Amino acid sequence: MFISSTALTEADLESAIVRNPLIVSPNTSVMAAIALMSGSRTVCSSSREADMEIEARHLEARSSCVLIVEGNQLLGIFTERDVVRLSSQMRKLENLAIADVMAHPVISLHQSAFTDLFLAVNLLQQYRIRHLPLLNEQDEIVGLLTHESLQQLSRPIDLLHLRLAEDVMTSEVICAAPSVSMLIQIKPINDSTKPKLKLLLAEDNLVNQKVILKQLHNLGYKADVVANGQEVLQILDKIPYDLIFMDYQMPILDGLETTREIRRRSASSFASHRQPVVVALTANAMAEDQQNCRDAGMDDYLSKPVNKKDLAAVLERWHEIIITSEAVMIPDPTSNNQDSQNRNLIDLIIDWEYLHQLSDNDTEVELEFLQLFQEDSQSHLELAKAAFAAQDFQQIAWEAHHLKGSSGNMGVTIMQKSAEKLELLSRKHEIAGMDNLIADLEEFINRIQDFLIKTNLDNLTDK
């Protein structure tokens, strides 16, 4: 059963409302509405990380739609999805009024009924919409609710405090009083069920090996061990490692040169068909050494002696990134089922059910959508890569924000998640992990491009 009434406070629900949405009259031109949406994308002003994340989500909602209002009454809604639809239809937007193309009637919710998070989430999912206008008792606009604005309240870890342990406990797993919040029990459950990373420790010092292996064991991980860089390169051909803890100084081949060699290799040359994450282990804490690690292609950095808390933080940070990106592993080019693998891969990337609904089951329109999306995403990815090279965090955030919005509109959910992570890292000015996320985004875009090329060739062959 659910805890009644006060599990989510009024203040909690209030924080999910996007205030001051964009409003236009019915005779506003489509071009003016698009300009208004584009002009509303301003940089988040908050300096606190939590506030900045909420503000970014509200900015996304505000800049992705306009509400059409006349006499304080809501008539319709126009979103970025409609922009994509009109573009694919080659409609001339200059003399087009917003009333002619807006979606109506509008699914909305009265503020007095917004006492339950799940009601809002269910409405968004049931009607497959991204924006849910919130109205007062006079049917005047109060604000917006979106998946993004509700996200902080609807994360699994936050929803757990809405439940009692008796709803989910079994005698073999959890020992807790029926009234104990599941939030208290989440740690052991989470550790036992999440997929583990395949780890390799490259360290020539036997004492350091024992210490780090023990720390990993206490954190619920296991690792294979090698003593030099040459052994690393040999074993990578055979075993698909997700992450390598790489000692800075080793005999035969040190950590820097080993990492350079790894980065010179193509993804398909590895047993996992993807580049592993490399975390440097070094007793040198100088900024120059950290820069040397980054220049060699290492993704992260741990000082020796390794602190268990820092080790846990590194594993947690990379776990989510690696597990997400595994969905876009490059298929084995020697496979006899290459077409089947490619199709399975594109099905992982694209939500076809959503795209069918967006296009009214028009395959030609879907291909036009994807072509437009691929070309637009490619150009913004190139800008993101250039900004990453210059460490221009604000520009990276802008490009990631654009990619997040467009991929969400197109139903490319897995790409949307990577873009969202990239945006959050850039707003925190955290360079570690950005290169992997950019590489993932590039892989998504390339796979869509490959799919479009093959589909067009097949269509020509059929003709």
pLDDT tens digits along 273-289:
778 899 999 876 667 77
- pLDDT higher than threshold 70 for residue 23: yes
User: What pLDDT shows up at residue 166?
Assistant: 53
Kindly state the percentage of the chain with pLDDT values over 90.
Answer: 23
- pLDDT higher than threshold 90 for residue 188: no
- pLDDT higher than threshold 50 for residue 336: no
Q: Measured on CA atoms in the order 216, 221, 222, 224, is the torsion positive or negative?
A: negative
309 burial via Cβ count (<10 Å: 0-12, 13-18, 19+)? exposed
Instruction: Please state whether beta strands 141-146 and 131-135 pair in parallel, antiparallel, or not at all (unpaired).
Output: antiparallel
Q: How confident is the model at residue 231 (pLDDT cuts 50, 70, 90)?
A: very high
Most confident of the ranges 35-44, 175-184, 293-302, 391-400: 391-400
What is the CATH architecture assignment of 194-328? Answer: 3-Layer(aba) Sandwich (3.40)
More confidently predicted of 8 and 440: 440
**What number is the average pLDDT over the span 27-31?**
92
Q: How many CB atoms lie within 10 A of CB 21?
A: 22
Q: How many CB atoms lie within 10 A of CB 149?
A: 24
Q: How confident is the model at residue 200 (pLDDT cuts 50, 70, 90)?
A: very high
For the 338-462 domain, the top CATH level (class) is mainly alpha
User: What pLDDT shows up at residue 108?
Assistant: 92
Q: Which of 141, 36, 140, 15 is nearest to 80 (CA)?
A: 36
**What number is the average pLDDT over the span 4-22?**
75
More confidently predicted of 376 and 330: 376
pLDDT-wise least confident of 106-120, 134-148, 183-197, 314-328: 183-197
Q: How far is CA 46 from CA 31, 50, 61, 143, 145, in A?
A: 31, 9, 17, 20, 21
**What number is the average pLDDT over the span 5-33?**
83
More confidently predicted of 84 and 385: 385
**What number is the average pLDDT over the span 356-362?**
79
User: What pLDDT shows up at residue 358?
Assistant: 77
Residues 6+ apart with CB under 8 A from 321: 277, 421, 433, 436, 437
Q: How confident is the model at residue 328 (pLDDT cuts 50, 70, 90)?
A: very low
**What number is the average pLDDT over the span 155-160?**
46
Q: How confident is the model at residue 333 (pLDDT cuts 50, 70, 90)?
A: very low
Q: Where are the beta strands (DSSP E) in 95-250?
A: 109-110, 131-135, 141-146, 199-202, 223-226, 243-247
Which strand (E) or helix (H) includes residue 22? none
User: What pLDDT shows up at residue 5?
Assistant: 35
Backbone angles phi, psi at 194, to 5 degrees: -75, 145
Backbone angles phi, psi at 17, to 5 degrees: -85, 125
- pLDDT higher than threshold 70 for residue 136: yes
| Residue-wise DSSP of 253-283 | S-HHHHHHHHHHS-GGGSTTSSPPEEEEEES
Quick: pLDDT tens for 403-434.
988 888 888 888 888 888 898 888 888 888 88
Using an 8 Å Cβ cutoff, are 195 and 251 in contact? no
Ranges in the chain annotated CATH 1.20.120.160: 338-462
Q: How confident is the model at residue 132 (pLDDT cuts 50, 70, 90)?
A: very high
Which option is the CATH number for 10-154: 3.50.50.100, 3.10.580.10, 3.40.50.300, 3.30.70.100?
3.10.580.10
User: What pLDDT shows up at residue 233?
Assistant: 92
Quick: pLDDT tens for 56-90.
777 878 888 999 999 989 999 998 878 877 776 77
Total number of residues shown for the chain? 463
Using an 8 Å Cβ cutoff, are 174 and 165 in contact? yes
Ranges in the chain annotated CATH 3.40.50.2300: 194-328
- Rounded distance, CA 354 to CA 334, Å? 33
User: What pLDDT shows up at residue 144?
Assistant: 93
Backbone angles phi, psi at 135, to 5 degrees: -120, 155
User: What pLDDT shows up at residue 68?
Assistant: 96
CA dihedral angle for residue 131, residue 136, residue 142, residue 144, rounded to 10 degrees: -10
Radius of gyration of the chain from its Cα atoms, rounded to whole angstroms: 25
Helix, strand and coil percent figures for the chain, each rounded to 5: 55, 15, 30
Using an 8 Å Cβ cutoff, are 71 and 56 in contact? no
Q: How confident is the model at residue 4 (pLDDT cuts 50, 70, 90)?
A: very low
